[in-house]
């Protein structure tokens, strides 16, 4: 029996603390034993299987909406499908093996907890400490087993998570282009849209969406406006005002660069430099939200070099889509007969270098 000193109040407080320790030790032992089903680890894998089924639907929906890029979406989905059954079986086998190995320790902890239940805590202080240590060790062993299960199926879970995130970005892009105030050229197809703030715009910092096609870079300022108010202060109905602020041909881009700002929470910055042109800023810096500026910088280089064409989806597209439809332009000026310089990507009019007559760049025949 432990000996206590001090006042009566201090002794009562010490006994109360021991009672709490006893209850906590018993609860920890029972909780650790219940975790031997490894329901959490198995739920992680089963959740990815369910997410994979949804991802298959989202891939098909992206194609039905006319998204012609990310040709590897179908391949990633099929790869994840091929991994799914084996990953579920692996997680189940690992969890069963760990449960068998740890069952003896769990039974001992439960037996010790049962012996202590109903006892006066101040009479079994050493047994309480032993049970607490045992329950803690068992919990740590279960944590290690869960990490091992997660590592065994890491390839599958990361593939599904990556595919899910990518599809979310694709549908955000398509949603943004459907709502944009910009009028797209017929041969344009949405590549990417990201939330961004244009930090050095002529009108000051503006929040909105940065949009990319294979031909153009655009920025659209978004501003929420209140249409109706209830009780004077609360907005009951709002709308988004979309204002086009930047519309530049890919061919006018001189350079792009990414950087980070800050110490703990870093801002992702993308800086674009343009050729001198009326209405086009020499430089534009954007703070990117929800995406890595490095990835967008890489995408821009692929657009500038034409390497983006390798990411075209070659499968069937919806009827009426402009996907794969080439553009055409006259080789010689219809006014003076001089040879015409091929258009910069995204250009819909080309001017003769000699007489300045303008000629349309039109859709060709598929």
Average pLDDT of the chain?
A: 88
- Reply yes or no on whether the pLDDT at 218 is more than 80: yes
* Sign of CA pseudo-dihedral 217, 221, 222, 227: negative
2 secondary structure, DSSP code: -
Cα radius of gyration rounded to whole Å, the chain: 32
Q: Is the pLDDT of residue 322 over 90?
A: no
Q: Determine the pLDDT at residue 257.
A: 96
- The pLDDT of residue 1 is 41
Top-level CATH class of 8-163?
A: mainly alpha
Q: What is the mean pLDDT of residues 243-254?
A: 92
Does the pLDDT at position 321 exceed 80? Answer: no
Q: What are phi and psi of 147, to 5 degrees?
A: -65, -40
- Is residue 292 within 8 Å of 194, Cβ to Cβ? no
Q: Which residue has the higher pLDDT, 232 or 95?
A: 95
pLDDT in tens, 155-169: 999 999 999 999 999
Closest Cα to residue 289, out of 190, 175, 193, 163?
Answer: 193
Which of the four pLDDT bands, split at 50, 70 and 90, describes residue 366?
Answer: very low
**Distance, CA of 180 to CA of 275 (rounded, Å):** 25
- Determine if the pTM surpasses 0.85: no
- Rounded to whole angstroms, how far apart are CA atoms 197 and 81? 38
Instruction: Indicate the pLDDT class of residue 2, thresholds 50, 70 and 90.
Output: very low
Which pLDDT score is estimated for 8? 81
pLDDT at 335 over 70: yes
Residue 246 CA to residue 160 CA, distance in Å, equals 36
CA end-to-end span of the chain: 92
Reference 83, options 191, 173, 159, 10; nearest CA is: 159
Residue 306 is predicted with a pLDDT of 81
Query: Picking from 10-19, 196-205, 210-219, 251-260, which range would have the lowest pLDDT averaged per residue?
Result: 10-19
Q: Does residue 325 carry a pLDDT above 90? A: no
| Confidence (pLDDT) at 263 | 74
Joined together, the tokens standing for residue 101 give: 């190995």
Name the DSSP class of 340: P
Higher confidence at residue 61 or residue 341?
Answer: 61
Model confidence at 365, pLDDT cuts 50, 70, 90, reads very low
CA separation for the pair 8, 106 (Å, rounded): 38
Q: Is the pLDDT of residue 291 over 50?
A: yes
140 pLDDT tier (thresholds 50, 70, 90): very high
Closest CA relative to residue 252, chosen from 230, 283, 293: 283
Give the tens place of pLDDT for each residue, 166-182. Answer: 999 999 999 999 999 98
- Hey, what are 17's tokens? 């603390």
Q: Could you tell me if 346 and 213 are in contact, meaning their C-beta atoms sit under 8 angstroms apart? A: yes
- Where do the domains of the chain lie? 8-163, 183-311, 326-366
Are the C-beta atoms of residues 308 and 214 closer than 8 Å to each other?
Answer: yes
Closest CA to 311 of 212, 218, 217, 220: 212
Per cent of the chain over pLDDT 90 is 61
Cα distance between residue 139 and residue 121, in whole Å: 23
Task: State whether residue 34 is helix, strand or coil.
Answer: helix
Q: Which of residues 71 and 232 earns the better pLDDT score?
A: 71
Q: How confident is the model at residue 231 (pLDDT cuts 50, 70, 90)?
A: low
DSSP 298-326: HHHHHHHHTGGGGG---S---TT--TT--
Q: What is the pLDDT of residue 130?
A: 94
Q: Does domain 183-311 have CATH number 2.40.37.20?
A: no
Separation of CA 82 from chain center: 23
4 pLDDT higher than 80: no
Closest listed residue to residue 214, CA positions, set 184, 245, 257 = 184
């Amino acid at each position: 029996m432990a000996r206590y000193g001090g006042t009566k109040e201090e002794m009562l407080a010490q006994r109360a603390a021991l009672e709490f320790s006893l209850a906590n030790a018993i609860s920890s032992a029972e909780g650790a034993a219940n975790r031997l089903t490894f329901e959490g680890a198995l739920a992680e894998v089963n959740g990815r299987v369910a997410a994979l089924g949804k991802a298959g639907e989202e891939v098909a929906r992206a194609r039905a909406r006319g998204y012609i890029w990310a040709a590897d979406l179908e391949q990633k989905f099929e790869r994840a499908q091929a991994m799914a059954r084996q990953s579920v079986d692996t997680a189940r086998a690992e969890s069963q093996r760990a449960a068998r190995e740890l069952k003896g320790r769990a039974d001992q902890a439960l037996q010790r907890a049962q012996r202590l239940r109903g006892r006066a805590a101040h009479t079994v202080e050493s047994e309480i400490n032993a049970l607490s240590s045992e329950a803690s060790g068992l919990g740590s062993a279960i944590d290690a087993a869960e990490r091992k299960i997660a590592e065994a199926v890491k390839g599958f879970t990361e593939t599904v998570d990556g595919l899910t995130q990518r599809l979310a970005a694709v549908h955000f892009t398509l949603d943004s282009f459907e709502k944009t105030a910009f009028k797209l050229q017929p041969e344009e197809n949405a590549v990417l849209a990201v939330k961004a703030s244009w930090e050095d715009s002529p009108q000051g910092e503006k929040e909105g969406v940065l949009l990319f096609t294979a031909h153009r870079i655009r920025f659209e300022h978004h501003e929420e406006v209140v249409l109706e108010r209830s009780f004077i202060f609360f907005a009951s109905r709002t709308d988004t005002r979309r204002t086009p602020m930047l519309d530049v041909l890919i061919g006018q881009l001189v350079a792009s660069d990414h950087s980070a700002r800050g110490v703990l929470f870093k801002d992702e910055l993308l800086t674009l430099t343009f050729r001198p042109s009326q209405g086009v800023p020499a430089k534009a810096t954007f703070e990117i939200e929800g995406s890595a500026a490095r990835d967008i910088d890489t995408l821009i280089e692929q657009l500038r070099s034409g390497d983006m064409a390798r990411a075209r989806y070659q499968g069937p597209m919806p009827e009426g889509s402009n996907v794969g439809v080439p553009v055409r332009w006259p080789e010689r000026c219809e006014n003076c007969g001089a040879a015409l310089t091929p258009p910069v990507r995204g250009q819909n009019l080309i001017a003769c270098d000699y007489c300045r007559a303008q000629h349309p760049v039109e859709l060709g025949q598929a």
